[in-house]
Amino acid sequence: MFRIFLFLSLILFAYALILPVYADKPDLIGIMALLGGWMVALNDIPTAISWLANVTFFFAIVMILKRKKPRPVAALVFSILSIALACAILGAGKIVTGATTSQTVGKLAIGTAFYAWVGSFVLMAVASWLKMKSLKPSASAAPVQETVASTTAKS
């Protein structure tokens, strides 16, 4: 079941890459913000902080997809951190339009890419939670392990 939410999360993230980042600048799409967002750190702190949500999202993907020992708790923490970091953009007072230029705005007009982007983080959190629930030992398995341990200790 977690794979469905993981797949939907990745699809929604990919969809956010082709949507407009700002409502009043439809020519700036998500892929441009993803590729150039790290350069914004010199100009705008809220935008730079929110861009780090991409990094924590990547770590969540790695943690949930580890073959030998998946870490869904870490993936859940990274997903929640991604949501929190992404919301830092809501405190921005300017739109960064290039590496050295920015446009000051009264109220930031978030585009549809933001909602798809944050939605992908929420779906990753749900996938992580479902994976975590599926890896927990069931209550019926615990007595069996105790019985085996007690029979080996008696012999």
Residue-level pLDDT at 38: 72
Q: Is the pTM of this model over 0.85?
A: no
Residue-level pLDDT at 126: 95
Whether the pLDDT of residue 142 is over 80: the answer is no
Which tens digits make up the pLDDT trace of 56-112? 999 999 999 887 887 889 999 999 999 999 988 887 666 665 555 555 555 667 889
Which tens digits make up the pLDDT trace of 11-42? 999 999 999 988 877 888 888 888 887 776 66
Q: Tokens in use for 138?
A: 């069931």
**Burial (Cβ within 10 Å: 0-12, 13-18, ≥19) of residue 16:** buried
CA 50, 55, 56, 58 torsion-angle sign: positive
Judge whether 5 and 123 are in contact, CB under 8 Å.
yes
End-to-end alpha-carbon separation of the chain, Å?
Answer: 42
Residue-level pLDDT at 19: 93
